[in-house]
Structure 1
């Protein structure tokens, strides 16, 4: 009978940093989402927390590609702005360091003329 030495567990890896939205940012995003849901424009959303970005995506229907993506990229804070609203076609509609100002590009779409 031979004895085998136990193999040690691999050393613990440092946790991967993720970019997230804080409570205030999520409050602003869900408030805007609720306004569009009540207007019948949006029906679903998705949130992704990645290593380089946090993304809030809104959908007209569940199985479609997102209408808009609101992205938070901390590496672009000093260059182009922390937040960006990206359209369905990939074009950046607005970019800046203030989330409220960036979301105004979407709030303009909510205003309609009433007959």
Structure 2
């Protein structure tokens, strides 16, 4: 049986979850916060990023636990990259590409580590 179509199918759900999670957690907050001392932060708060990471991690855990780790990692990484590109591409400085690359590399590293560690953690719990 050809596994390539299965990877595509099982990567679609993590892709959709990643894009939807980005929109839900980060997509609505586009303004930087100016503090009384003149410093500027944002546009995202730490709790928004944490919510995004937990949402995406839950999807990766769910897919990996069903034997679709490759699709979970690839779908999530492409989804986060696409969402960040769409959200940040209106930046006239061009530095958004660096941010998108960092999101892609970080997502790939984080989801790969999670997918690789999950079988070991669940095996320990079954003993």
When normalised by structure 2's length, the TM-score is: 0.29
User: Which structure would you say has the larger RCO, counting Cα contacts within 8 Å and 6 or more residues apart?
Assistant: 2
Q: State the structure with more CA Rg.
A: 1
Structure with greater helix percent: 2
**Higher strand content, 1 or 2:** 1
